[in-house]
Structure 1
Amino acid sequence: MTIARFKDLCVDVGSPSEMAAFWGRALGLTTPTDNPNVLVGDVPEKTVWMCKVPEPKTVKNRVHLDVVTGAVEDLERMGAAVHTPASEEQRWTVLTDPEGGEFCGFVRETVPAYRLMELIVDSADPEAQARWWAGVVGGDVNSRPGRPYRWLENVPGMPFKYWVFVPVPEPKTVKNRVHWDVTASALQPVLDAGATLLRPKDDEIGWHVCADPEGNEFCVFLPPEAS
């Protein structure tokens, strides 16, 4: 039995309108007429919020998106820049968005309307991270023999196929510029599972800000009667 459900994604940005325009094209999402700073799809879980923050990007994104594209040049025309080209050893291209945030482009012959393929999280212990999040939001933990990364799939409500945890040597040093939100019937089970409460709901925000065991921020939304 899970204690929370995947809700949506959030991206910290300096210019919400510019970044919404870019990511809308890159992901195949649209902006509603009443809010140009959010992207929406055919289900609520595909929502991506552009959250304006004062601080600029200073380190490599510890959380990033992998997207499907027909050609890397298509992403460049949208405003992306190539950081590391694909090679025989690396089947994907590392790019940066208009504000320098890293993401990866996977070239495919068939490109779906919704182009977010997976969410990638840098981790000190991918096995522990994958199993912790499986305990919170459900899904199956999978691996490949001899490969150090782990991934979740079949997560209820998650609108992309894979949630991948990859090993990195560097520790987390700053707030993630990409994070996810969850809904839950109560906050305490999330905390009992091992999350840390960073900021409780208050007069300024209508959600609780938490961190997972490796410090990755996520927000917990509760029903009104439980808030």
Structure 2
Amino acid sequence: MRVTLGPLVAEAEDPTALDAFWTAALGAAQCRRLLVFRPQLRPKTVKNRVHLDLYVRDVGLLVGLGARVLAEHDGWTTLADPEGNEFCAFPGTESLPGVQPPARVFAVCTDSDRPEELAAWWARRVGAEVRDGPDNTPRWLYGSAGWENLIWKFVRVHDPRVVPNRWRWSVHPDPGVRVDPQGNEISVLRRGCPSD
């Protein structure tokens, strides 16, 4: 069944405060389109297996909003939002016209120990084109229904899943399943609001 991707459903200790951070970082329109916050079901204990990649004008602007730097890499920075949710920031002033907001989402990243398999499975369901990642393996999706302007990156990891995802994607219509083949939970959009 073909589905359309909706916003990421993000668990939060304080949904209102986390929404305020991401709205300031991305702007209200982009935040509403890409993120929905709900009360957490359990505290955060491990790194998120789903995160955003952002183009940013200046990492310092995000730190000023409440993010913290976790690691500096060659060409990008790993940060955490005020509740510790990881995300990656890449310099991208040419992609950020004007003054506000300080960041723009360009990719959703999903950890997987078999990213090629998961990318192929989701590509069939969201009508995406599969392209190679930087390691020349087919694991990046382009043109996913609902996320046409985003890259969906399936990131190779070797650490096992130990808890349900704090951030998960939503879809419509109901695909009849609540998890994909690798255990990633799916929320279903009903009347504009994601539900489980």
Give the TM-score normalised by the residue count of structure 1: 0.75
2:82 is equivalent to residue 98 of structure 1: yes
Shift >3 Å, 4+ stretches: 144-149
- Tell me the amino acid that sits aligned with residue 77 of structure 1: G
CA contact (8 A) 1:134 1:141 kept: yes
Superposition map of 1:72-111 within 5 A: 72-87=59-74, 91-110=75-94, 111=96
Relative distance call for 1:58 and 1:25 in structure 2 (3 A) is: same
The one-character-per-residue Cα deviations of 1:125-161 (angstroms, maximum 9, x if unpaired) are 1110000001111110000474456110011221542
| Amino acid paired to 1:174 | V
1:58 and 2:28 are equivalent in the alignment: no
Gaps of 5+ in 2: 192-196
Kindly indicate whether the alpha-carbon contact (under 8 Å) linking 1:12 and 1:178 is maintained by their aligned counterparts in 2.
yes
**Change in CA separation of 1:30 and 1:93 when aligned onto 2, cut-off 3 Å:** same
Give a deviation string over 1:178-208, Cα, whole Å, max 9, x none.
1110001xx4xx35xxxxx4xxxxxxxxxxx
Give the alignment of 1:1-227 within 5 angstroms: 3-29=2-28, 39-40=31-32, 46-87=33-74, 91-110=75-94, 111=96, 115-144=104-133, 146-148=135-137, 150-158=139-147, 160-184=149-173, 187=174, 190-191=175-176, 197=177, 210-221=178-189
Change (3 A) 1:53 1:151: same
- Matched residue type, 1:179: R
How far apart, CA to CA, are the structure 1 residues paired with 2:15 and 2:84?
Answer: 14
C-alpha spacing 1:55/1:145, structure 2 compared with 1 (3 Å): closer
Aligned equivalents of 1:168, 1:182: Cα separation in 2? 25
TM-fit CA distance, 1:62: 0.5
Q: 1:57 to 1:133 in 2, by over 3 A?
A: same
**Alpha-carbon distance between aligned partners in 2 of 1:138 and 1:221, rounded to the nearest angstrom:** 18
Sequence identity (%): 37
Query: Which amino acid in the other structure matches residue 130 of structure 1?
Result: A
2:163 alignment partner AA: V
Q: Deviation of residue 67 (structure 1)?
A: 1.2
**Higher relative contact order, chain-length normalized (CA < 8 Å, sep 6+):** 2
Letter in 2 for 1:26: A
Structure with the larger strand share: 2
Shift of 1:47: 4.1
Q: Quick check: 1:26–1:67 contact (8 Å CA) kept in 2?
A: no
C-alpha distance in 1 between matches for 2:55 and 2:138: 20
Name which one, 1 or 2, has greater alpha-carbon Rg.
Answer: 1
Matches of 2:69 and 2:57, distance apart in 1: 15
Cα displacement (A) at 1:72: 0.8
Letter in 1 for 2:186: F
TM-score by length of 2: 0.86
